[in-house]
Structure 1
Amino acid sequence: MKKTLVSALTTALVVGAASTTFAAANPFSDVPTDHWAYDAVAQLAADGVIEGYGDTTFQGDKNITRYEMAQMVAKAMAKKDVSAADKAMIDKLAAEFSDELNNLGVRVANLEKNADKVKWNGELRYTYHNDQQEKSNADKRTNTLKFRLDPTAEVNDNWAVHARIDANMNVAEDEDDANAKLIRAYAEGKYDNLDLRFGKMGLFSDESDGLLVDDEFSGARVQFGNVLKTTLEAGRWNNVPDSEHSAADYQGIMFTGEQGKVSGGVAYRHFNADGFTTSEKFAGYSKNNKEDNANIWSAGLGYRFDSNWKLSGAYAQNTEADAFDKSGNVQIDYKGAENENAGTWGAYAAYRHIGQNVSFAPTYDTFGNISNKKGWEIGTEYVPFKNVHAYLYYFDGEKLEGQNNDTHSLFGRVSFFF
């Protein structure tokens, strides 16, 4: 978040910046009175907890990152001898940057302990998707409505329980039964640079920005490290294509990191399932034991030129598959839409080659109905109002199997986050 308001607010939290005392009516002229943080800033200033500069401002024209903001919030949290009311205000500000503070090693799990141990977040989204294939008259248009809840319950200073509940409706048919499902339910424990998870949780190929999978699996995950993070996963995954059984055994190891302008990672994932009915959908089929294996190697690399431009790419291969065993992606991003900041936007252009025997559940929305294809994609995102996010993507390419299989995909979405 780089708006003037927030930079002004967080700069104010630097302890001992100056010793000037200001009038309580409007001590900091660059903090708008219609923002939720204004009352907290004004009261903390009146109580002498924070101070500004000599010109009644906080030099709010200087952009700072969320990470820098978190450092300033941490300093304010370390201030002693503050009243209970001021402590509550500081806690509310710290909750805004809880993820960054956790990365800094500042534990904020108990900030809202006295108010509520369960925190609810969610989303209401409308999605339009139209997949068109050359020489096909089939209507591939879908209009769906999703209502999502993401509750988090505090257990103690180190452990919390997370869940996700999704309810989906077909808007075109005006459905009145949403078929709500529990998508995720897992316990998470954080100890310095160690993160432990047990249950049904997200399965995402971080090293390749979702080139392989964006789904859920049941099992355990262990992640440790600071600059270079190591992630170990093991469990069961149930979205195996064309299997007579509901799930496959899964094990994975990933190494991801970020240093300066460069980010990237490498990974290995193994899937094993019994009873496949076809050899082309997953990997190497054996008629003797009806066992199917997938050994997937992947790597990704990204470089951020400046605050606006980023170039990234990824490659993956399934060494057990005999067809459609490779996937790749190259993408250039400009700016980015931020839910908290109305008026922010972003755009991208990408070339994607997605083999269905290696990218089992890629994160790309334009590949929802037809995943085995290659081509160019462009997209844009915009935040017209705070926590209202609009998306529009277009893909133009061809399927990897057969001839004269040109395909086009148009994807649009509007999400309301709460």
Structure 2
Amino acid sequence: MKKILALAAVAALTAGVSAYAANPFSDVTPSDWAYQAVVDLSEQGVVEGYPDGTFKGERNITRYEMAQIIARMLAKEDQLNAEQRATLDKLAGEYADELANLGVRVSNLEKKVGNIYWSGDARMRYQSKSLDQKDGWNGRIRINVKGQVNDSTYVQGRFLNEMDFKGNDTSSTSMDQLYVNHNFGKDVSVRLGRQPISFGDQAGWLNNGHDGYDGGQIAYNNGKLSLATGYGQFNSTFGDFAYDANDNNKSDFYFARGAYDFNFAKLGVDYIAYQDKHNVVEEGKINAAGDKAKVNFEGTKPELFGVNLNIPVQQFNVFGEYWKNTTAPSALEDTAWNAGLSYGAANWKKPGTWDLSVAYNSVGNGVYLGATGWQTNILDAVANAKQLKFWNAMGDVTLAKNVQLHAEYAFAADADQGADPDDAWTVSLNYKF
């Protein structure tokens, strides 16, 4: 059905192709690899041609015309052999934007083999750390695989490998995500398995995009309003409170969240309810190492509420977030908040685009969930302080298509009832494929 719709879209658009003669698409010359690839496919009887039905492999054509040729081949992809299909997938990837303008959904066909789709990212990162920790020089690669079961169901997995370049770390590869997603119509979906999760709207104290949970969720999204609720258990260090005496992140929890786009602003709300108690490090108890002793001081079942707001103003974005742990013991700081300003947007496909943001953060030890999307180690100080206040600046610039430089700087930190951490910074090269 999708291929029939795609063909219909091409036919409708090609009927008036003369009106697009002045379209500013750049020319594809006979010396371009894509042009040669189409010539080769034409000689194999695969190419049906462009608007007039014949392919003239002797003059320049526009990228728009090339996209029409590719769309026609996509409509009969199941008739191609493996080599022809691989060539077509590469062409579809090169002309994805033009195909999208034609209404043809290519779904990253350059990364598709049958019903399997591959994608990934890699990072090379240097970290100048605070808290007397050694500087870091490390790498990470993540490979995503998506299996399209049918029009409504897919299975998603992710392989992860992290490596320390400064030590003798041989590293190991693991699968940190594996879940199934089923769509009910276009707005409702159900997901089961080990899956990613994030809360709030900034990559700080409740959103790291790396760890997740084992469980299920049901979600609704109509483009303006999004709602989700689920139940499960956090995995890795995400969900392990900084104050927890037993490092008990393997707690069942349920959550609910929602967001609405008002066009002039976007508002989000979150709720997290733990089903197990998290014990607290008892004040005044010092062990032989001079650190606070981890003792069984009875805690509570954490219950957190959060709200976040983004207000775009031309190229700027004003953002803020507030969280509260409503069941935190009195010995803990039960709130966290931040406010900041960003400018620009680094587009992975557009070299030279960039963004920059700066924010002030106040993070209580009764709220921080023990994992962060920030790449400095500044938040490690929360484990030995009641509250940490600091500034954070970060920026991205797209150096080439699918290549970005990222940098962060955390500074002017003030720890309540703890040692103030030094400034920390990091820089990394990031790649998508």
The TM tier, using the shorter chain, reads 0.7 to 0.9
1:234–1:80 Cα change, 3 Å? same
**Matches of residues 196-275 of structure 1 in structure 2 within 5 Å?**
196-207=190-201, 211-214=205-208, 215-226=211-222, 227-238=224-235, 239=237, 240-241=240-241, 242-243=245-246, 245=248, 247-274=250-277
Which secondary structure state, in structure 1, belongs to the residue aligned with residue 423 of structure 2?
Answer: strand
Deviation for aligned residue 1:21? 8.2
Structure-2 residue corresponding to 1:6: none
Q: Which residue of 1 aligns with 2:117?
A: 119
C-alpha displacement of 1:169: 1.3
> Aligned residue for 1:414?
429
Matches within 5 A, 1:6-405: 15=13, 18-20=16-18, 30-31=26-27, 47-48=50-51, 84=76, 92=92, 96=96, 115-133=113-131, 138-175=132-169, 177-191=170-184, 192-207=186-201, 211-214=205-208, 215-226=211-222, 227-238=224-235, 239=237, 240-241=240-241, 242-243=245-246, 245=248, 247-274=250-277, 276=279, 278=281, 290=298, 292-306=300-314, 308-321=315-328, 322=330, 323-360=332-369, 361-367=371-377, 370=380, 372=382, 373-402=388-417, 405=420
Tell me: CA distance 1:399–1:82, structure 2 relative to 1, closer, same or farther (3 Å): closer
State the alpha-carbon separation in 2 of the partners of residues 233 and 94 from structure 1: 39
> After TM superposition, where is structure 1 displaced by more than 3 Å over at least 4 residues in a row?
16-19, 26-29, 31-46, 56-59, 79-83, 85-97, 106-115, 206-211, 274-277, 285-288
Aligned in 2, Cα 1:92/1:132: closer, same or farther, shift over 3 Å? same
Report if the CA contact (8 A) 2:121-2:432 is conserved: yes
Secondary structure class of the residue paired with 1:186? strand
Q: Which amino acid aligns with 1:229?
A: S
Check whether the contact 2:203–2:372 (CA below 8 A) recurs between aligned residues.
Answer: no
* CA distance in structure 2 between the aligned counterparts of 1:258 and 1:35, rounded to whole angstroms: 43
Structure 2 counterpart SS, 1:400: strand
Q: Distance in 2 between matches of 1:39 and 1:315?
A: 56
Alpha-carbon spacing, 1:213–1:324, altered in 2? closer, same or farther (3 Å): farther
Q: Give 5+ residue unaligned stretches, structure 1.
A: 1-11, 51-55, 60-72
Q: Decide whether the 8 Å contact of 2:336 with 2:367 is kept in 1.
A: yes
Deviation at 1:250, TM superposition (A): 0.9
Alpha-carbon spacing, 1:19–1:184, altered in 2? closer, same or farther (3 Å) = closer
Percent of counterpart pairs with the same letter?
Answer: 19
Distance 1:263 1:171, change over 3 A: same
Contact 1:314 1:329 in 2 (8 A): yes
Q: Name which of structure 1's ranges 257-266 and 227-236 shifts more when overlaid on structure 2.
A: 257-266
Q: Deviations over 1:120-149 (max 9, x none)?
A: 11122111122224xxxx343111111211
Distance 2:197 2:112 in 1: 33
The separation in 2 between residues aligned to 1:244 and 1:170, in whole angstroms, is 25
8 Å contact 2:28–2:62 — kept in the other structure? no
Equivalent-residue separation in structure 2 for 1:397 and 1:247 (angstroms): 34
Counterpart of 1:305 in structure 2: which amino acid? V
* Structure 2 contact 336–362 (Cα < 8 Å) conserved: yes
Once the two structures are superposed, residues 297-332 of structure 1 have per-residue CA deviations (whole angstroms, 9 ceiling, x without a partner) of 1001111112x2111111111111231321111121
The 1-side partners of 2:261 and 2:160 are apart by 32
CA deviations on 1:160-205 (whole Å, 9 max, x unpaired) are: 1111221111111142x21222211111112310121100111101
Change (3 A) 1:46 1:205: same
| TM-score, scaled relative to structure 1 | 0.73
Give, in angstroms, the shift of residue 159 of structure 1. 1.0
Partner of 1:64: none
Question: Does the CA contact (< 8 Å) of 2:258 and 2:268 recur in 1?
Answer: yes
Query: How far apart, in 2, do the equivalents of 1:49 and 1:310 lie?
Result: 48
- Match of 1:92, as an amino acid? A
Q: How far apart in 2 are the matches of 1:339 and 1:293?
A: 41
* Residues paired across the two proteins, number: 369
Counterpart residue identity of residue 415, structure 1: N
Shift of 1:384: 1.2
Cα gap change, 1:193 to 1:49, in 2 (>3 Å): farther
Distance 1:113 1:166 in 2: 18
Q: Secondary structure at the match of 1:20?
A: helix
Over alpha carbons, which structure has the higher Rg? Answer: 2
| Residues 54-95 of structure 1: per-residue CA shift (max 9 Å, x gap) | xx9899xxxxxxxxxxxxx9xx9xx99996379987993799
- Output the amino acid matched with 2:376: T
